Amino acid sequence: MSLEKKVWFITGCSTGFGRQIAVQAIEAGYKVVVTARRVEQIQDIVSGHEENTLALPLDVTNDDQIKDAVQQTMDKFGRIDVLVNNAGIGYFSSVEESLEEETRRMFEINFWGLMHMTNAVLPHMRAQKSGHIINFSSIGGLTSFPTLGYYHATKYAVEGISESLAQELTPFNIAVTLIEPSGFRTDWGGRSSVKTDTQIPELKDSFVGQMLQGVQQNSGQESGDPVKAAAAVIKVVETPSPPLRLLLGKAAYQAATHKFTGMLSDIEEWKEITLNADFE
């Protein structure tokens, strides 16, 4: 299939990565399904490209909307070649003070929404024996920082299930790629996140309190460029052998290499005890 005939389905297109990916995929000549909870926020993306695009309302926590959006896509284009699971939110709090209502909501969007969307598309990809699933994770899916414990939990979950899914889908010529950005100017730390301030004195006076205070102040100052990130996603889809993981941003590279260098050091230091834990 020629590149320009591939059909992309992208979630969370009102701002940030989703919007930039949609714009660039349309410019590249692909057929693109652009979705957001409020469809009026994405009309400007598809304006003038109505023949090759579809703008749909989609809340990834709403199963009926997911089924309807996939069906409308199949009715118009007849296939789905690339699913970009981009929709997601953040939540800042100490682990001890995190609100269960907020953390469960985040899991519903970041993990269950992603999986319900994936499971709705997979039968079509298996039938056509091709496809590519792009799951937006984070550098926070590989390594952890204070005040983001439950957010990390959602992204670690996405990482784990994506690894299994990639292995299960290999026989069907369906690829899975995890996108792992560091800080990008996507309003993730602003409009797209919730914060619960710490009330525990010992935490409030420590770097935990300082980090929570700086969350919204730093929003919009991140070093990552969403336009370049979107171009990287397009390139990954167009490559014949896409990677399972793609780190984006210098901070992501530095954090990942620091994490795994330290992990390997610990593994080797305790190697003898590790190997002696089996039956003789």
Active site amino acids:
137, 151, 155
* Strand 90-92 with 7-10, pairing: unpaired
Single-letter amino acid code for the residue at 116: H
How far apart CA 17 and CA 136 sit, in angstroms, is 9
Closest CA to 42 of 56, 26, 61: 56
Do 182 and 224 form a contact (C-beta atoms < 8 A)?
A: yes
Distance from CA of residue 149 to its chain's centroid?
17
Alpha helices in the chain (DSSP H): 16-27, 43-46, 63-77, 100-107, 114-128, 149-169, 201-204, 207-218, 226-238, 250-269, 271-275
